[in-house]
Amino acid sequence: MPNVLIMRPIHDDAIALLRAAPGVTVEIVHKLTPEAMDDALPRADGIIVRTNVVNGEMAAKAPGLKIVARHGVGYDLIDVPGLTARGVAVTITPEANAGSVAEHALMLMLACNRRTIDYDKRVRSMGWGVTPELPTRDVAGQTVLILGFGRIGTRVARLCAAFGMRVLVRDPFIPVGTIRGAGYEAVTDLPAALAEADIVTLHLPSSGPNRGLVGTEFLAAMKRGAVLINTARGALVQEEPLAEALRSGQVGMAGLDVVLVEPMVADNPLLGAPNIIFAPHIAASTNEGTRRMAMSAAQSVLDCFNGVLPEDVVVNPEVLRR
């Protein structure tokens, strides 16, 4: 009888889906202490994980483990090589949160350009009307540079175009013709595009050369006063250079849903920088988004147990081909 270990609760509908499957049992660990995990892992045939580490050492304690299903798309905290070596499939929920994150990115663009947080504070302190110290801008007519044209980046492009923005896209893994065919301007010269863009929004994985991509040279190449949006991964941005760029005005504002160390730590240099809107990594966490992610992860577990797991959700498809 396969047992599904859920590391922290997920949407009730997904739990119900699992429990309704013939012969499947469900175990939810609310507090992920080492003791609780050591007790639960030996019974796990499948694991659903949100934002916690799953590695080969843990898999060794679960001899029947067949799948680790990530409730989301990022898998930085999952030891994919270690799990692959043990024949464990790792899955993500590729379509489930893309729309939610894209909306969040657009919200941050609007909030930065309209100085939403600043004006809210001003009204609460009995200030009223426009003040020269807080100029606002329409996003219509602005140029946005979208770095990454995957599931989220493509949706951001459509939203930006609907708001009347000029859309530049850079993704070296997508053919230029594909980007142009979608109605956007393909970018091959990154510094030149940074010099043009009023808004730069990041939709890249944090692997390989992307880590620390937004550093001193990148920020210096940006159009002075431009807005930086990051709803992808904190590791894309070097935080001290960004803090300095915000202090100098080289970057006008930043909207950040992610930071390098999460949860936020007191010595993060960005906390002392001006003109930032923070969110606590919640871009995907709408009511609708969390349900879609939970249902997708649960379905992947059931598909794995039934031998019909589709490759398009699997990070390490070589496990399926063995």
Mind listing the pLDDT tens digit for each residue in 20-75?
Answer: 999 999 999 999 999 999 999 999 999 999 988 999 899 999 999 999 999 999 89
The DSSP element (H or E) to which 17 belongs, if any, is helix 12-20
281 is catalytic: yes
27, 57, 217, 262: the active-site residue:
262
Question: What pLDDT score was predicted for residue 261?
Answer: 96
Domains of the chain: 3-96+287-319 (3.40.50.720), 98-278 (3.40.50.720)
203, 233, 239, 292: the active-site residue:
233
19 is catalytic: no
Distant-in-sequence, close-in-space partners of 123: CB < 8 Å, separation ≥ 6: none
Distant-in-sequence, close-in-space partners of 34: CB < 8 Å, separation ≥ 6: none
Yes or no: say if 200 and 218 are a contact pair by the CB < 8 Å rule.
no
Of 92, 55, 49, 76, nearest to 211 by C-alpha is 76
Alpha-carbon distance 31 to 16, whole Å?
21
Question: What pLDDT score was predicted for residue 74?
Answer: 86
Question: What pLDDT score was predicted for residue 321?
Answer: 85
249: left (phi over 0), alpha (psi -120 to 50) or beta: left
Question: What pLDDT score was predicted for residue 322?
Answer: 75
List the chain residues with pLDDT less than 70: none
Alpha-carbon distance 153 to 144, whole Å?
12
The DSSP element (H or E) to which 120 belongs, if any, is helix 116-124
